[in-house]
C-alpha cells in the first residue's frame, strides 16, 4: 500500500492526529505548526488516494482506512525504532532506556534518580493511553512501563507502585459541580463515558445499564478527548486524581468519590526482556515509593 519513498515522519504525524483526534493537540504534541501538520496529512491522503479522517469544525474521526492504517502504522514505527536501537547498541553508542507512562504520572523524579546512579544511560519517554500501555511493551516501543491497572498480564511481570483516589469529572454547570465529594449512588442516573467494568461500583447501580438500549460509548483515544466530551455535556468520566489535576480546565470539575476503589499504578515489563537497564529503572522508581515493593 505504501510507496517506497514513504516518510516515517509522515507516519508519526498521522499517528499523533489519529490518537489525539484533534489537529491542534497533535500539532502541540509534535511541536510543529498546525497548518504544516494539516498539509502533511493531506499529502499522505493524496499518496494513499483515500481519506484517513472525516473532519468538520468541531470533530475529527478516523475513516475505515484510517483505522486500518493506525493499526499498521504503530507496528511499522515500533519495528523502525527497534532496528534503530539494535544498530546503535551494536555500534557501542550510549545505552538508551525507553519508559512508557500514563497521563498524570510524573516520571521526572525516577529519571533523575536513575541518572544519579547510571549517568551512562540515556532515557526516552513515551506517553501511553489505556488502549496501548501494554501494546507498547509487547511491540518493543518501550522497555518498561508505568501503567495503570488493570492490564492484561500475559507475558508481563508487574510490580505495584502506589494507589491514588479517583474523581468523577463533570461539566462546570453540572448539578453536582459545587459538591466537595459525592457518593456513587448520586451518579446512578449519569451516562458513563468509559467501559462500565472500569467503575464496577457504578456498573452495579447504573440506571442506564438496566434500561433497554444503553447509549453507545464512543472509542476515546486520549484524556483530552474525554474531557472535551464531558465539557460538552455528553456524560461523566471517572479518572485518577493526578490525571484530573494535570488536565485542569475551567469548564470541567473533578469531584472526589470516596466509595469508588482507588487506581493502582504499577511498573510492568516483558518477563522475557528483563535487562540490567530495566533493573536499574526499577530500583530508581521503587526508591521514590514509601514501603517495601515486591515483584508479583
DSSP conformation letters of 83-125: HHHHHHHHTTPPPEEEEEE-TT---HHHHHHHHHH-TT-EEEE
Mean pLDDT, rounded, for 129-140 = 84
Q: Tabulate helix, strand, coil % of the chain (nearest 5).
A: 40, 20, 40
pLDDT of 62-80, one tens digit each? 999 999 998 888 778 877 7
DSSP helix/strand/coil, 129: coil
Q: What is the pLDDT of residue 291?
A: 41
8-73 belongs to which CATH class? mainly alpha
Per cent of the chain over pLDDT 90 is 51
Q: Which fold has domain 94-164+263-286?
A: D-Maltodextrin-Binding Protein; domain 2 (3.40.190)
Q: What is the pLDDT of residue 92?
A: 63
pLDDT of 31-69, one tens digit each? 889 999 999 999 999 999 999 999 887 789 999 999 999
User: What are the boundaries of each domain within the chain?
Assistant: 8-73, 94-164+263-286, 166-256
Q: What is the end-to-end Cα distance of the chain in Å, rounded? A: 43
166-256 belongs to which CATH class? alpha beta
- Burial (CB < 10 A; 0-12, 13-18, 19+), residue 258, is exposed
DSSP conformation letters of 260-271: SPPEEEEEEEEG
Count how many residues are written for the chain.
Answer: 296
Nearest to 81 by CA among 156, 9, 29: 9
pLDDT of 238-265, one tens digit each? 999 999 998 889 999 999 999 999 999 9
Question: E strands along the chain, which residues?
Answer: 53-55, 60-62, 96-101, 122-127, 144-148, 156-164, 166-171, 237-240, 252-256, 263-270
Banded model confidence at residue 294, pLDDT cuts 50, 70, 90 = very low
- Burial (CB < 10 A; 0-12, 13-18, 19+), residue 230, is buried
Q: What is the pLDDT of residue 4?
A: 44
Is the pLDDT at 190 greater than 90? The verdict is yes
Task: Say if residues 227 and 214 touch (Cβ distance below 8 Å).
Answer: no
Q: What is the pLDDT of residue 7?
A: 81
CB atoms within 10 A of CB 135: 18
> Matching CATH topology for 94-164+263-286 and 166-256?
yes
Is the pLDDT at 86 greater than 60? The verdict is yes
Amino acid at each position: 500500500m505504501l510507496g517506497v519513498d514513504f516518510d516515517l515522519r509522515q507516519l508519526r504525524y498521522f499517528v499523533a492526529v489519529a490518537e489525539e483526534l484533534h489537529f491542534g493537540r497533535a500539532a502541540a504534541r509534535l511541536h510543529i505548526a498546525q497548518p504544516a501538520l494539516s498539509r502533511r496529512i493531506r499529502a499522505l491522503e493524496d499518496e494513499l488516494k483515500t481519506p484517513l479522517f472525516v473532519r468538520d469544525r468541531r470533530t475529527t474521526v478516523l475513516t475505515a482506512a484510517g483505522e486500518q492504517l493506525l493499526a499498521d502504522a504503530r507496528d511499522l514505527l515500533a519495528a523502525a525504532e527497534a532496528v534503530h536501537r539494535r544498530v546503535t547498541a551494536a555500534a557501542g553508542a550510549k545505552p538508551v532506556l525507553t519508559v512508557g507512562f500514563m497521563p498524570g504520572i510524573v516520571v521526572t523524579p525516577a529519571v533523575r534518580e536513575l541518572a544519579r546512579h547510571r549517568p551512562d544511560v540515556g532515557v526516552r519517554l513515551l506517553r501511553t493511553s489505556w488502549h496501548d500501555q501494554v501494546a507498547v511493551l509487547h511491540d518493543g516501543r518501550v522497555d518498561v512501563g508505568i501503567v495503570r491497572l488493570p492490564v492484561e498480564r500475559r507475558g508481563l511481570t508487574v510490580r505495584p507502585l502506589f494507589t491514588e483516589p479517583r474523581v468523577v469529572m463533570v461539566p462546570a454547570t453540572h448539578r453536582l459541580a459545587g459538591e466537595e465529594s459525592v457518593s456513587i449512588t448520586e451518579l446512578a442516573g449519569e451516562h458513563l463515558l468509559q467501559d462500565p467494568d472500569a467503575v464496577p461500583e457504578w456498573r452495579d447501580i447504573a440506571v442506564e445499564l438496566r434500561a433497554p438500549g444503553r447509549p453507545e460509548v464512543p472509542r476515546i483515544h486520549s484524556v483530552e478527548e474525554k474531557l472535551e466530551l464531558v465539557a460538552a455535556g455528553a456524560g461523566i468520566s471517572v479518572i485518577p486524581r493526578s490525571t484530573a489535576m494535570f488536565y485542569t480546565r475551567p469548564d470541567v470539575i473533578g469531584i472526589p468519590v470516596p466509595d469508588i476503589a482507588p487506581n493502582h499504578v504499577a511498573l510492568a515489563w516483558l518477563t522475557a526482556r528483563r535487562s540490567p537497564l530495566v533493573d536499574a529503572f526499577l530500583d530508581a522508581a521503587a526508591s521514590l515509593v514509601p514501603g517495601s515493593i515486591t515483584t508479583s
